[in-house]
Chain A
């Protein structure tokens, strides 16, 4: 059997390590060691070990169903199932092997067995059009929202429902709304093509203004009813609710500005995820609250400068 897939993956890992440099490679290694230790501690506990077992299997199942190279592997590579199975086995070692050294060691052979069955799955999730009439409510010019809502509607709906149900409780609905803001901020990671960019606006300033105004409108329309209800039940929280709304708007504006600061036609800016997460999480920590606002001011001029490069009329 030729281990072609494993060889390719190892080449990719080596190339990635070379790209990030020895310093970052050591940081990554330290992070990995900490993760293995944490997983080992978690496996030692009954409830957490069951949770880890389920998460490991569901994650690999999700990867297998959604991976785009599956058809190629099954058609072109010798022993595709063994290759995929070995790939999963090797790359999940940090999260599966620690179980062997705990009293819940029996999860390890069960995970291996599950991985083998998963590696046999050839079918993929079929692309479906959910909410085909969504553009009757949201204009196609707000394509980030159309696309984002179709991708994350389940999560957003659950958090919105939870926020509604708990709207009379202090703080809790705000946490659910914060999760919605974080999901919405992720809408702004995919860069549109140049024809769409030029069709959307006549100048960078105009484009950013339109995007920011629209996103603020959507956010306010979604959040205001819940925040009003929360303020009625908890009048002493009115100011906190107002500040919360302003912070969520700032996070969203930052997401838009970050997208256009790094805008490259037709690219998905996954590299922005880390910064976006830091700003989102930072908004929960009182003493770093001004950071999103400072980042917005900092990124506005950068976004204009980057867009000017493309709007070179």
Chain B
């Protein structure tokens, strides 16, 4: 179990995470949904130990979570200038013994011997993804992984996530598009104003859209048809 216990986090005077509590089952894929600014990325930053909470803690199998437990694919990926894709990947330790760069790159088609400045946004995302999956960790976090990826890589990413689950890894994914989450997640958690307000199990996924967007769809279509 991964237990999030009373996490608080503020930036200046703005409270971003508010007494956050939630238990996550291990070896499952957890989708995190919520509006922009709800605090999802801050939660991921704390979960990955990239950031310290003001108070509270996160336990992984009863022990305080460590940075070594987590591989984290950030929303925006930063790379060092003038290094090639291959050099970037070599910085990260190869702990996933099954990882074969050549084979996986046949699928992703990255020009690994070129400097990263020549890559498109989607290519940079793929490179960051490779750096994550070459590491064997019990927990994987993917923050908005589907942004900027082409259709084929989106499919490949879904297969990668399903593969991680078969290896008993715990996966967290956030996305603003529901369909890939519904396809890969075991549970989806609704995040609002710095806290989890509802959990949906696989059987209830069909209710998510209705509950979240039912009223919004009605009022939005009314506003849009009257104003555009």
Interface positions of A (Cβ within 8 A of B) = 127-129, 132, 135, 139-141, 143-144, 146-148, 150-151, 190, 192-196, 198-200, 265-266, 312-313
Contacts and interface: CB of A to CB of B under 8 A. Distances in A.
Contact of A129 (B66, B78, B81, B84): B84
Interface stretch (B18-26, B113-121, B170-178, B201-209): B113-121
Given A147-B83, A195-B72, 4 more contacts: A140-B86, A140-B87, A141-B90, A147-B81
3 A-B pairs with the lowest CB-CB distances in the bound complex, closest first? A140-B87, A140-B90, A266-B78
B50 interface: yes
A125 to B, nearest CB: 11
Indicate the member of B80, B88, B117 with the most A CB atoms within 10 Å.
B80
Contacts of B86: 135, 140
23 contacts: A127-B118, A129-B84, A129-B115, A132-B114, A135-B90, A140-B83, A143-B83, A143-B87, A147-B81, A147-B82, A150-B115, A151-B82, A192-B80, A193-B78, A195-B72, A195-B92, A196-B91, A199-B91, A200-B91, A312-B49, A312-B51, A313-B49, A313-B66
A267 to B, nearest CB: 9
Given A127-B117, A132-B113, A199-B92, A190 B80 contact: yes
A192 B87 CA distance: 14
A195 B72 CA distance: 8
A45 B50 CA distance: 58
Interface of B: 49-52, 66-67, 72, 74, 77-84, 86-88, 90-93, 113-115, 117-118, 131
B81 A135 contact: no
A141 B49 CA distance: 22
A129 B51 CA distance: 34
Contacts, number: 70
A138 to B, nearest CB: 9
Contacts of A199: 91-93
Nearest to A147: B82
Contacts of B82: 146-148, 150-151
A193 B49 CA distance: 14
Nearest to A133: B113
B9 to A, nearest CB: 13
A313 B66 CA distance: 6
A127 B87 contact: no
Contact of B84 (A132, A144, A313): A132
A196 B84 contact: no
Given A150-B82, A313-B67, A129 B72 contact: no
A132 B81 CA distance: 14
Contacts of A198: 67
B112 to A, nearest CB: 10
Contacts of A135: 84, 86-87, 90
A239 B118 CA distance: 47
A195 B79 CA distance: 10
A199 B94 CA distance: 11
Contacts of A312: 49, 51-52
A140 B91 contact: yes
Contacts of B93: 199
B80 A129 contact: no
B114 to A, nearest CB: 5
B118 A129 contact: yes
Contacts of B67: 198, 313
B88 A140 contact: yes
A146 B66 contact: no
A151 B92 CA distance: 23
Interface centre among B50, B82, B117 (most CB of A within 10 A): B82
A312 B77 CA distance: 21
Contacts of B78: 193, 265-266
B102 to A, nearest CB: 17
B131 A195 contact: yes
Contacts of A148: 82
B50 A194 contact: yes
A166 to B, nearest CB: 30
B87 A129 contact: no
A276 to B, nearest CB: 18
Contacts of A151: 81-82
